[in-house]
């Protein structure tokens, strides 16, 4: 396979992920118990024999930088090639904040131009998939396209989340619509592109291009450049909304999940913490659940994903939920259809995700309306409180945020002004 440089877009801010990205970037969001979203793109690279990888960061990069480090878990701690974390900077022809995906690459063109690889693979740090990039790159080389775009079919109800393409019989893209409100077509761009390095450097010398989807692809089609599609048949999830995040995690617990995390031929690597084994107490009841190292379960856990170090006390119930690292769930607590971020303490008898009301969240009604309640990182939920559905509790919410209230109505947005 021709030598390839991978550029992973990891600098975007996602308000649609709510509290999950208030203290971290999208690619640093935990997933599937022990992983981070960026683990999938990094692991797919090394499994595809791509060993020169640059991660383009900007928004809240600290936890992402800490996670990647020098790239050792992915065999990317190399003097030649390996992983490089590229941060925004001031000064020079490329300095300043990145305005979008194409602009992020343009502001690192000096790095791209110095590399010896023939091709550049543009990836996203928020995609969950097991994808071999070699057939995509091979097709790009054989067709001599100006750019090859990875595509796949999506649900017609989700076309507004993606760039939608139309193709000719030979696979050439003839039309592109960026996130149409409605579309009869459902062949979506995955936001994965392959360019010849020299052509990409020449193309992005034009500083008017901000996004690959909004600007680069339409411009190339208007100029009648060869824009080729590559159809990916496997599992792929774009974790750009709370609903997508919740569904992708829940799908891991199906009898035969589409995403196989246990394939020894395609390992998803991550930076693992040293933790004790899972411990189940004498009254623990666990069913259809993913448990990570260091979890201590004395209560009931059903159809949930628990990250390392989570503790569930006796008589507590966790159901249809995602619980992130080191959260403590006290006695008699009920957590139903929730996403609870790291280091949360839920005191005795609290009821989270309760009631029949499904009123949409007031701050994001179009994105949080299916009954999922979110608890932000480092929050402390007082004893006995009842919190409804589609509620957002922002990070570091403490007793003074809740005051003397005994209940939080469905659809509420709590703690934003206290951060």
The per-residue pLDDT for 419 is 37
Residue 257 within a domain: no
Domain boundary among 201, 236, 251: 251
| Segment 225-237 mean pLDDT | 95
Token pair for residue 274? 């040293």
Q: Does residue 141 share a domain with residue 58? A: yes
List Cβ neighbours of 49 (8 Å cut-off, separation of 6 or more). 1, 134
pLDDT tens digits, one per residue of 146-176? 999 999 999 888 898 899 999 999 999 999 9
Question: Whole-model pTM?
Answer: 0.95
Residues near 384 by beta carbon (within 8 Å), at least 6 away in sequence: 347, 348, 349, 350, 406
Give the torsion sign (CA, 211, 216, 219, 221): negative
- The first and second tokens of residue 184, run together, are 């009869």
Claim to verify: residue 194 and residue 294 sit in the same structural domain: no
Query: Does residue 160 fall inside a structural domain?
Result: yes
Residue 275 burial (CB count, 10 A): 14
Our count of domains for the chain comes to: 2
Same domain, 194 and 299: no
Name the nearest CA neighbour of 350 among 303, 308, 388: 388
Residues 191 and 324 in one domain: no
Average pLDDT for 60-77: 96
3-class DSSP assignment, residue 41: helix
Q: Is residue 103 part of a domain?
A: yes
Do both 123 and 241 map to the same domain? yes
Q: Is residue 256 in a domain?
A: no
Q: Is residue 273 part of a domain?
A: no
> Residue 2's pLDDT is what?
67
Domain enclosing residue 291, as ranges = 279-418
DSSP 311-350: EE-TT-EEES-EE-TT-EE-TT-EEESEEE-TT-EE-TT-
CB 397 within 8 A of CB 380: yes
Are residues 196 and 288 part of one domain?
Answer: no
Q: What percent of the chain has pLDDT over 70?
A: 99
CATH of residue 124's domain is 3.90.550.10
Angle at 207 between CA 15 and CA 147, to 5 degrees: 80
Residue at 270 is within a domain: no
Residues 263-305: pLDDT tens digits? 999 999 999 888 999 999 999 999 999 999 999 999 999 999 9
Q: Is residue 262 in a domain?
A: no
Asked if the model's pLDDT at residue 42 lies above 70, the reply is yes
Could you tell me if residue 272 is inside a domain? no
């Amino acid at each position: 396979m021709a030598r390839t440089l991978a550029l992973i877009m990891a600098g975007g801010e996602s308000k649609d992920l709510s509290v999950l990205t208030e203290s971290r970037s999208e690619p640093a969001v935990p997933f599937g118990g022990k992983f981070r979203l960026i683990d999938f793109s990094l692991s797919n690279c090394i499994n595809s024999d791509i060993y020169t990888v640059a991660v383009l960061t900007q928004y809240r990069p600290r936890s992402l930088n800490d996670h990647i480090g020098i790239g050792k878990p992915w065999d990317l701690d190399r003097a030649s090639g390996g992983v490089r974390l590229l941060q925004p900077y001031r000064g020079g022809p490329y300095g300043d904040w990145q305005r979008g995906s194409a602009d992020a690459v343009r502001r690192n063109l000096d790095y791209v131009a110095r590399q010896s690889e023939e091709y550049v693979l543009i990836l996203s740090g928020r995609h969950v998939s097991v994808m071999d990039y070699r057939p995509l790159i091979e097709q790009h080389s054989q067709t001599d396209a100006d750019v090859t775009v990875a595509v796949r079919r999506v649900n017609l109800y989700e076309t507004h989340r993606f760039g939608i393409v139309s193709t000719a019989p030979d696979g050439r893209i003839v039309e592109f619509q960026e996130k149409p409100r409605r579309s009869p077509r459902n062949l979506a761009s995955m936001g994965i592109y392959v360019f010849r390095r020299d052509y990409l450097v020449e193309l992005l010398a034009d500083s008017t291009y901000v996004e690959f989807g909004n600007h680069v692809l339409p411009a190339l089609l208007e100029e009648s450049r060869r824009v080729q599609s590559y159809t990916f048949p496997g599992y792929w999830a774009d974790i750009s909304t709370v609903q997508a995040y919740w569904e992708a995690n829940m799908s891991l617990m199906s009898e035969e999940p589409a995403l196989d995390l246990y394939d020894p031929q395609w390992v998803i690597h991550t930076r693992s913490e040293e933790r004790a084994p899972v411990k189940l107490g004498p009254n623990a009841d666990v069913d259809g659940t993913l448990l990570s190292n260091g979890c201590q379960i004395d209560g009931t856990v059903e159809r949930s994903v628990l990250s390392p170090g989570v503790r569930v006390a006796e008589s507590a119930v966790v159901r249809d939920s995602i619980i992130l690292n080191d959260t403590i769930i006290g006695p008699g607590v009920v957590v139903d259809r929730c996403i609870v971020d790291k280091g949360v303490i839920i005191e005795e008898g609290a009821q989270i995700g309760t009631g029949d009301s499904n009123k949409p969240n007031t701050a994001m009604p179009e994105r949080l309306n299916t009954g999922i309640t979110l608890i932000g990182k480092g929050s402390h939920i007082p004893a006995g409180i009842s919190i409804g559905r589609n509620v957002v509790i922002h990070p570091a919410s403490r007793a003074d945020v809740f005051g003397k209230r005994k209940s939080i109505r469905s659809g509420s947005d709590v703690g934003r002004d206290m951060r």
